[in-house]
Amino acid sequence: MPNSIRCRSLSPVRALLALVTLLAALACAATPALALDPPSGNAFYTPPSPLPAGRAGDVIWYRVANTSIARDNNANAYEVLYRSTNVAGNAIAVSGTVLVPRAAWTGRGTRPLTAYASGTQGWDDSCAPSREMTAGNFDESFAVSNLLARGWAVAVTDYPGLGTPGDHQYNVGISEGRAVLDILRAATRLSPAGISATTQVGVEGYSQGGGAAGWVIQQEATYAPELNVVGVAGGGTPANLQAVKNNIDGSAFFAFLAGTAIGFRGGYPALDVNRYLTLYGRLAISTLNSLCQLPALALYAAHHLTEYTVGGIDPTVQPAFRAALDANNLGGIRPQVPVLQYHGSYDEVIPYSVEQNLQRQWCALGARTKLSAYPLEHVSTQLGAQIEVVNWLADRFAGVAAPSNNC
C-alpha cells in the first residue's frame, strides 16, 4: 500500500507511557500556570515586565507573610502579587494579603471567603496594608481580626499603585473594585490557601474601602460572575466625589482631596493632572505622595484646592476631569447582591446625605439594601458598626434572607 499511511503498533509499555504523557499534557493545559518565584524584600512589589500571560486574578507570585494579625488569630498569611485590570481595561499587577485560619472549618458548606477593603492608609508605598501588617501598624487590624475570628478566610488588597510602582489610584472606584474582586479570585487560586473556587464570598469596606465595596457591588455580576458573592457591607461611602470634595475643601481633611488628585493622575493619565497645578501645587502633591494618612492630614489641614492650581481654577469642574469623577460615582448600576450600608449621622468627612442618596439611587433600580445610621462621627462609626457588619455577613453565609429598609 504505497499511498497509505503505515501505523506501527506500540508495545503495551510504550502505549501506557504515551497515554500518561497525553493525560499529563491535557492536565497542564487545563491548569493555570504556577506562580513565579518571588524576589526578596520590597522587590516583591515590583512586577515582572512584561507581566506573565494569564487572567485577572491569577497569582504572579506569593510568599508566606509574618504578621501579628496572623499570629494573634492562629492563621496563615500569604503576601500575593496578582493580576488585575485598570480603568482602561489593561492588565496591571496589584499586591495584597490572604489570611486563612489554621483551624479546620466546621461550619456550613466550605470555609467562606471575605474581602476586607481598607480605608485610607496614605499614598507612600510603605502605607500599603500588606506592608503595614508586616510592620505591625495596620490600623484596621481589628476589623480583619473580627472576620478571622468567625473562621472565615480574609483577602486584603493594597489597591492599584499602593505598594506596587506608580501613583496609588486613590478613590478611582472602578479600579479599586476590580482589585478587590481580583484578590478574591487570587485567594481561590492560591494553592496553599485551600479555598474553594465556589465558596460563598462576602465583602466589607469602610470609607475609601466603602467606595471600593460599592464598586464590587456594581461590577461583580459582569467583571467576576464566577465568584459566589452573597453580600457586601460598605460604610462611610464616598459615593459622590464632587459632594465629598465640596465638604472637605478647606477642612482638616483636605489631604483626602489632594490625594484624590494623585489617584486620578494614576488612574487617568490622559487627564494630565499636573497641567492644572502650579509649581507649588506639584511640589505639594509630590510631598503628599511620600506620606501616610496621619502626617498628611496634619500637614495639609485647612488648605484649599485653588491654592495649588494654575489661575486658581477648580479642576473638578473642567469637562474632562468632571467626566472622570462622574464615571467613578456610585449609584448608576443595580446591585445584584444584598447590601448593608452604614454611616455616621455626624460624619464630618463624608456627609450622611451622600450615603442616603446612594441608597435612594440603588432602591430606584430595585436593589435590596439596608441603611443603618449611627449617631457618631466618621472614625467611631466604623468601630460602632463592627458587630452589625460581622453578624450581617454571618447571616448571608447562613442563607438568611437579607433585610431591607427605605426602599
Cβ atoms of 261 and 273 closer than 8 Å: yes
More reliable by pLDDT, 25 or 306? 306
pLDDT level of residue 178 (50, 70, 90 thresholds): very high
Can you tell me the distance from the alpha carbon of 401 to that of 395, in angstroms, rounded to the nearest whole number?
8
**Secondary structure percentages of the chain, helix, strand, coil, to 5:** 45, 15, 40
| DSSP line for 140-186 | THHHHHHHHTTT-EEEEE--TTSSSSS---TT-HHHHHHHHHHHHHH
Q: What is the structure's pLDDT at 2?
A: 36
Mean pLDDT score, 119-144: 97
Q: How far is CA 198 from the centre of its chain?
A: 20
Mean pLDDT score, 107-121: 97
Q: What is the structure's pLDDT at 34?
A: 54
Q: What is the structure's pLDDT at 406?
A: 86
Give the mean pLDDT of the chain: 92
**Domains of the chain, CATH where assigned:** 41-239+331-397 (3.40.50.1820), 241-326 (1.10.260)
Q: What is the structure's pLDDT at 28?
A: 35
User: Is residue 10 pLDDT above 90, yes or no?
Assistant: no
User: Is residue 4 pLDDT above 60, yes or no?
Assistant: no
More reliable by pLDDT, 286 or 23? 286
Can you tell me the distance from the alpha carbon of 126 to that of 135, in angstroms, rounded to the nearest whole number?
9
Residue found by looking up cell 495596620 in the block: 138
Classified as helix, coil or strand, 81 is strand
Q: What is the structure's pLDDT at 11?
A: 43
Cβ atoms of 134 and 65 closer than 8 Å: yes
Cβ atoms of 98 and 153 closer than 8 Å: yes
Find all residues with CB under 8 Å of 156, minimum gap 6, and list them. 96, 97, 98, 99, 115, 116, 117, 118, 129, 130, 133, 144, 183
Can you tell me the distance from the alpha carbon of 388 to that of 346, in angstroms, rounded to the nearest whole number?
19
Find all residues with CB under 8 Å of 275, minimum gap 6, and list them. 310
User: Is residue 47 pLDDT above 60, yes or no?
Assistant: yes
Mean pLDDT score, 355-365: 98
Can you tell me the distance from the alpha carbon of 176 to that of 169, in angstroms, rounded to the nearest whole number?
8
Q: What is the structure's pLDDT at 31?
A: 38
pLDDT level of residue 176 (50, 70, 90 thresholds): very high
DSSP 263: H
400: which 3 cell numbers?
438568611
Classified as helix, coil or strand, 205 is strand
User: Is residue 120 pLDDT above 80, yes or no?
Assistant: yes
User: Is residue 12 pLDDT above 80, yes or no?
Assistant: no
Mean pLDDT score, 37-54: 95
Helix or strand (DSSP H, E) at 330? none
Q: What is the structure's pLDDT at 5?
A: 33
Mean pLDDT score, 86-92: 97
- Are β-strands 75-85 and 91-101 bridged in parallel, bridged antiparallel, or unpaired? antiparallel
Percent of the chain residues topping a pLDDT of 70: 92
Can you tell me the distance from the alpha carbon of 133 to that of 150, in angstroms, rounded to the nearest whole number?
20
Strand order of the sheet with strand 339-344?
59-64, 75-85, 91-101, 153-157, 113-117, 200-206, 228-235, 339-344, 369-374
Mean pLDDT score, 313-321: 96
Report the predicted TM-score, pTM, of the whole model to 2 decimal places: 0.91
Can you tell me the distance from the alpha carbon of 228 to that of 396, in angstroms, rounded to the nearest whole number?
12
User: Is residue 254 pLDDT above 90, yes or no?
Assistant: yes
Q: At what angle do helices 254-267 and 241-248 cross, to 10 degrees?
A: 140
Can you tell me the distance from the alpha carbon of 213 to that of 234, in angstroms, rounded to the nearest whole number?
6
User: Counting beta carbons within 10 angstroms of the beta carbon of residue 348, is it exposed (0 to 12), middle (13 to 18) or buried (19 or more)?
Assistant: middle
Can you tell me the distance from the alpha carbon of 371 to that of 280, in angstroms, rounded to the nearest whole number?
42
